[in-house]
Protein backbone atom coordinates (compact mmCIF):
# COMPACT_ATOMS: atom_id res chain seq x y z
CA UNK A 1 0.00 0.00 0.00
CA UNK A 2 1.48 3.32 -1.07
CA UNK A 3 0.95 6.40 1.07
CA UNK A 4 2.28 9.81 -0.03
CA UNK A 5 4.27 11.80 2.50
CA UNK A 6 4.28 15.56 2.80
CA UNK A 7 7.79 16.44 3.95
CA UNK A 8 9.30 19.76 4.95
CA UNK A 9 12.50 20.41 6.89
CA UNK A 10 16.26 20.64 7.04
CA UNK A 11 18.85 18.46 8.69
CA UNK A 12 22.59 17.88 8.58
CA UNK A 13 24.48 14.60 8.80
CA UNK A 14 28.09 14.66 9.91
CA UNK A 15 30.40 12.78 7.58
CA UNK A 16 33.98 12.81 8.80
CA UNK A 17 33.61 16.30 10.25
CA UNK A 18 31.83 17.67 7.15
CA UNK A 19 28.10 18.32 7.25
CA UNK A 20 25.98 16.78 4.53
CA UNK A 21 22.81 18.85 4.08
CA UNK A 22 19.48 17.04 3.86
CA UNK A 23 16.44 19.04 2.80
CA UNK A 24 12.88 17.76 2.67
CA UNK A 25 10.20 19.42 0.56
CA UNK A 26 7.06 17.83 -0.75
CA UNK A 27 7.88 14.44 -2.23
CA UNK A 28 11.61 15.12 -2.62
CA UNK A 29 14.53 14.62 -0.27
CA UNK A 30 17.70 16.44 -1.35
CA UNK A 31 21.02 15.06 -0.12
CA UNK A 32 23.64 17.77 -0.74
CA UNK A 33 27.37 17.13 -0.68
CA UNK A 34 29.77 20.07 -0.87
CA UNK A 35 32.01 18.20 -3.30
CA UNK A 36 32.93 14.86 -4.82
CA UNK A 37 35.47 14.02 -2.13
CA UNK A 38 32.79 14.30 0.55
CA UNK A 39 30.38 12.08 -1.42
CA UNK A 40 33.03 9.43 -2.05
CA UNK A 41 34.01 9.43 1.62
CA UNK A 42 30.44 8.53 2.61
CA UNK A 43 30.28 5.91 -0.15
CA UNK A 44 33.45 4.32 1.20
CA UNK A 45 32.00 3.78 4.68
CA UNK A 46 30.19 0.62 3.54
CA UNK A 47 31.35 -2.37 1.54
CA UNK A 48 29.93 -2.77 -1.96
CA UNK A 49 27.43 -5.52 -1.08
CA UNK A 50 26.20 -3.74 2.05
CA UNK A 51 25.90 -0.42 0.20
CA UNK A 52 23.85 -1.99 -2.61
CA UNK A 53 21.59 -3.74 -0.11
CA UNK A 54 20.98 -0.49 1.78
CA UNK A 55 20.20 1.39 -1.44
CA UNK A 56 17.80 -1.33 -2.63
CA UNK A 57 15.96 -1.21 0.68
CA UNK A 58 15.86 2.57 0.56
CA UNK A 59 14.51 2.45 -3.01
CA UNK A 60 11.69 0.16 -1.88
CA UNK A 61 10.82 2.44 1.07
CA UNK A 62 10.91 5.54 -1.12
CA UNK A 63 8.64 3.83 -3.64
CA UNK A 64 6.10 2.87 -0.97
CA UNK A 65 6.07 6.46 0.32
CA UNK A 66 6.03 7.98 -3.20
CA UNK A 67 9.14 10.03 -2.38
CA UNK A 68 12.33 10.63 -4.39
CA UNK A 69 15.87 11.13 -3.14
CA UNK A 70 18.00 13.53 -5.20
CA UNK A 71 21.77 13.51 -4.71
CA UNK A 72 23.59 16.79 -5.29
CA UNK A 73 27.36 17.25 -5.50
CA UNK A 74 28.75 20.78 -5.58
CA UNK A 75 25.45 22.33 -6.65
CA UNK A 76 24.70 19.85 -9.46
CA UNK A 77 22.13 17.07 -9.24
CA UNK A 78 23.98 13.88 -10.11
CA UNK A 79 21.77 11.14 -8.72
CA UNK A 80 18.18 10.08 -8.20
CA UNK A 81 16.68 7.24 -6.20
CA UNK A 82 12.97 6.44 -6.27
CA UNK A 83 10.73 3.42 -6.56
CA UNK A 84 11.11 3.46 -10.35
CA UNK A 85 14.88 4.10 -10.44
CA UNK A 86 16.98 2.16 -12.89
CA UNK A 87 20.70 2.04 -12.28
CA UNK A 88 23.03 3.47 -14.87
CA UNK A 89 26.31 1.85 -15.89
CA UNK A 90 28.15 4.55 -13.98
CA UNK A 91 26.16 3.73 -10.83
CA UNK A 92 27.00 0.03 -11.19
CA UNK A 93 30.69 0.85 -11.68
CA UNK A 94 30.65 3.06 -8.58
CA UNK A 95 28.77 0.37 -6.63
CA UNK A 96 25.81 2.64 -5.85
CA UNK A 97 23.19 0.92 -7.99
CA UNK A 98 20.13 1.09 -8.01
CA UNK A 99 20.84 4.84 -7.85
CA UNK A 100 20.49 6.62 -11.19
CA UNK A 101 23.77 8.49 -11.64
CA UNK A 102 24.89 10.76 -14.45
CA UNK A 103 28.05 12.76 -14.95
CA UNK A 104 26.13 15.75 -16.32
CA UNK A 105 23.13 15.27 -14.05
CA UNK A 106 20.14 12.99 -14.09
CA UNK A 107 17.49 13.21 -16.80
CA UNK A 108 18.97 16.13 -18.70
CA UNK A 109 16.71 18.64 -20.40
CA UNK A 110 16.13 17.59 -23.99
CA UNK A 111 16.94 20.14 -26.63
CA UNK A 112 14.16 21.09 -28.97
CA UNK A 113 14.56 20.62 -32.70
CA UNK A 114 14.68 23.58 -35.07
CA UNK A 115 10.90 23.54 -35.35
CA UNK A 116 10.14 23.44 -31.62
Q: 91-112: per-residue pLDDT in tens?
A: 998 889 999 998 765 554 333 3
Query: What CA–CA distance (Å, rounded) separates 113 from 17?
Result: 47
Query: What CA–CA distance (Å, rounded) separates 62 from 66?
Result: 6
The rounded average pLDDT for each run of 10 residues, N- to C-terminus, in the chain (116 residues) is 61 69 89 87 86 93 92 91 90 90 58 41
Question: What is this structure's pTM?
Answer: 0.76
Sort 65 into a burial class: Cβ within 10 Å, 0-12 / 13-18 / 19+: middle
Question: So what's the pLDDT on residue 43?
Answer: 83
In the chain, what are the domain boundaries? Answer: 21-101
Question: So what's the pLDDT on residue 3?
Answer: 58
- CB-CB contact of 46 with 55 (8 Å): no
Average pLDDT, the chain: 80
Amino acid sequence: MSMPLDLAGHLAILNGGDAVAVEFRGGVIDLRFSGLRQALRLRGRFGRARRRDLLRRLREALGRADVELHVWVGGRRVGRLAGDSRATRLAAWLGVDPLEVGIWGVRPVRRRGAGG
